[in-house]
Amino acid sequence: MTGLSPTGYHLPVYDYVRPPELSGSIGRRYRVAIVGAGLAGLTLACDLASRGIAAVVLDEDDTVGVRGASSRGICYAQKSLEIFDRLGIYHRIRDKGVTWSVGKVLRGQDALYRFDLAEGSRSAQPPFINIQQFYVEWFLVDRIRELGRTDLRWKNRVTGIRQDEDSAVLTVETPDGAYNLEADWVIDASGHASRVRQSLGLPTHGELGEDRWCISDVRFHKDLPVERWTWVEAPFNENRAVWQHLMADGVWRMDYQMLPNTDPNEASRPEVAAARLRDQLGPDVEFDLIWVGAYAYRTQLMGDFRHGKVFFIGDAAHVKSPFGARGGNSGIQDAENLAWKLTLVLNGQAPETLLDSYNAERRPAAVENIAVTRRSGRFLAPRTEIERLFRTAVMDLAAGHHFARLLLNTGRMCVPHHYGPSPLTTGDAGQAMPNLTLGSHSLAGMLPGDGAGLLALWCPHEEENGLGSGLSDLTREGWPLHVQPVGADEARALGMAPGAVLLIRPDLHLAARLPDADAEQVRGALARATGRT
């Protein structure tokens, strides 16, 4: 990786504060300790804080992003944007980033396929916003500080862990020495080279990809279309793939596929990167190189995302290639999935067995994402002559045949996982609900503030049949439930008939669809969704 250019990014620096454990204070036991202040770890800390749960976050650095200021992940999907809306930072991401929905797949100068992800979208948030990852992390830190419940510890490097039946103890190194920190629950969000995972001796399974890529973050002196363009075969890159799309600060991400044996240091030299850009856009194009870096992707997957009192989220649990923006977005969804479950358990509203559903739901999501991105990688870098012939045939047919356009696989864009076989789901539910606007509130805005309540959307009969009072009884019994009747227009938008109840989880996934509900049916679905059955 190269360092910063004179026009590069400037990241915030956070103060190191001597931990109380090194100042003679009696060591306290924390409810939740999060290892790693990256995208997944900060999302989890912010989500817990928004639900009234305090945590301590330990990070070995004193800034967001990466030293060298790589932009890293840049595409944030609708589901992630809905999460960030609930956490209170969506407006900053929207105002700073670039909203987009239109993309093109090209072969030379020919557009093989054009798509618009906004078609059919029903969420209050757009399909995608492009913004450098460090900005999102920056906004999360600001919001965590604003909420005021989280102990953010910079330059606190976790080097080991031991655990018993009741807690886990982390060994932490600081500029002032080492100390031990005890927590009821530990969440490892420290990335693919996790020391926590290594200390526990937990294996992962995966492989290093053969494909090589080189990113150039560039600011041009002329405007380009604000669309995501992908060349399967770019004549200006020796008929290898290229991605082109805009992010914040007027900076473009230009991602070039390299030969498998490419020297990453040579590919990252500014003069080499500049030559690639001129080959693409012409010898007279004016631009500023912000950052250049070569990379190879990998896959990595743990057998179980829970080990006793320790949970693994984001790249600590699973790593995949970046096709379709399925990396950082899946880590964000890991964090949300675990946050509401931890909240219910810590507040005494659900048994600890609810936490087993984190692995039951998020590991299949990781398996699916790895499979999807692996197929994209094989399309962009065929490994056999048969695969290359198939790709050529698909491109030849795409211009005139709709079915062939659907086979163009330059990255299936990130969508929420369907928790159909989840132990928490009743019937055929499990899908993510869009953040619809019903009346004057979004769906997420109808969920309770502190805590982790479920939402029962109820379409009343014209003549009261007792369901309303039955649902009120459930809330008085202490179930974490908020009941919201919906009118006829709203019910039609949701596909509900009179007497129906939609039970929606705190992460906006559908726990149950009950067409002709009674209070006992809702009670059973609630018990299942909170791990009581």
Question: What does the pLDDT read at residue 7?
Answer: 45
Q: Is the pLDDT of residue 72 over 80?
A: no
Cα–Cα distance for residue pair 343/354, rounded to 1 Å: 11
Q: In degrees rounded to 5, what are phi and psi of residue 302?
A: -80, 155
Least Cα distance to 186 among 80, 316, 301 occurs for 316
For the chain, residues classed under CATH 3.50.50.60 are 28-98+128-206+299-372
Which structure tokens are listed for 5? 């250019």
pLDDT, one tens digit per residue, over 391-436 is 999 999 998 999 999 999 998 899 999 998 899 999 999 999 999 9
Q: Which range among 72-76, 140-144, 522-526 shows the weakest confidence by mean pLDDT? A: 72-76
Name the segment(s) of the chain with CATH classification 3.40.30.10: 437-529
Q: Is the pLDDT of residue 298 over 50?
A: yes
Residue 1 has pLDDT above 80, yes or no: no
Q: Which amino acid is at 423?
A: P
The mean pLDDT of 503-520, rounded to a whole number, is 95
Tokens 């769906």 belong to 443
Angle CA 382–191–266, to nearest 5: 50
Whether the CB-CB separation of 264 and 170 falls below 8 Å is answered with: no
The residue-averaged pLDDT of 471-487 equals 92
> How much is the pLDDT for 66?
72
pLDDT of 8 reads 63
Mean of pLDDT values over 134-145: 97
First to last CA, the chain: 50
pLDDT one-digit tens code per residue, 99-115 = 999 999 999 999 999 99
Closest CA to 147 of 64, 42, 58: 42
Backbone angles phi, psi at 406, to 5 degrees: -70, -20
Looking up tokens 């299936």 gives 412
Residue 279 has pLDDT above 60, yes or no: yes
Q: Please name the residue ranges forming H helices in 259-401.
A: 264-267, 270-281, 328-346, 356-380, 385-398
Q: What angle do CA 208, 245, 128 make, to 5 degrees?
A: 90
- Picking from 48, 10, 112, 88, the residue whose alpha carbon sits closest to that of residue 452 is 48
**Residue 331: pLDDT band with limits 50, 70, 90:** very high
Buried b / exposed e along 115-148 (16+ C-beta atoms within 10 A): eebeeeeebbbbbbbbbbbbbbbbbbbebbeebe
What is the pTM (predicted TM-score) of this model? 0.95
pLDDT tens digits along 485-496: 998 888 888 999
Residue 70 has pLDDT above 70, yes or no: no
pLDDT computed for residue 67 by the predictor: 61
Task: Give the model's confidence band at 2: pLDDT under 50 very low, under 70 low, under 90 confident, else very high.
Answer: very low
pLDDT of 60 strictly over 90 = yes
Report the alpha-carbon distance of residue 341 to residue 339 in Å, rounded.
5
pLDDT at site 4: 35
Quick one: average pLDDT of 63-80?
82
The one-letter code for the residue type at 275 is A
Average pLDDT of 283-293?
Answer: 91
Residue 5 has pLDDT above 60, yes or no: no
For the chain, percent of residues with pLDDT exceeding 90:
79
Question: In this model, does residue 69 exceed pLDDT 80?
Answer: no
Domain 28-98+128-206+299-372 has CATH 3.30.420.40: no
Q: What one-character-per-residue DSSP string does 454-497 give?
A: EEEEE---SS--SHHHHHHHHHHTT-SEEEEE--HHHHHHHT--
For residues 187 and 338, the answer to whether their CB atoms sit within 8 Å is: yes
Beta bridge partners of 289: 218
Look at residue 224 in the predicted model and tell me its pLDDT.
Answer: 83
pLDDT tier at 462, thresholds 50, 70, 90 = confident
Name residue 98's amino acid.
Answer: V
- pLDDT confidence of residue 465: 67
Nearest to 229 by CA among 120, 112, 325: 112
Q: Which two tokens stand for residue 359?
A: 């692995």
Longest Cα separation, the chain: 75
CATH, domain range 437-529? 3.40.30.10
Task: Write down the pLDDT at residue 23.
Answer: 86
Give dist(CA 159, CA 194) in Å, integer. Answer: 10
Rounded to whole angstroms, the Cα distance separating 308 from 488 reads: 47
What ranges in 14-111 are assigned the alpha helix state H? 39-50, 78-87, 90-96
- The pLDDT, as a whole number, for residue 445 is 86
pLDDT of residue 471: 92
> Tokens standing for 183?
């927590």
pLDDT in tens, 180-202: 999 999 999 999 999 999 999 99
Q: Tell me what the pLDDT averaged over the chain comes to.
A: 92
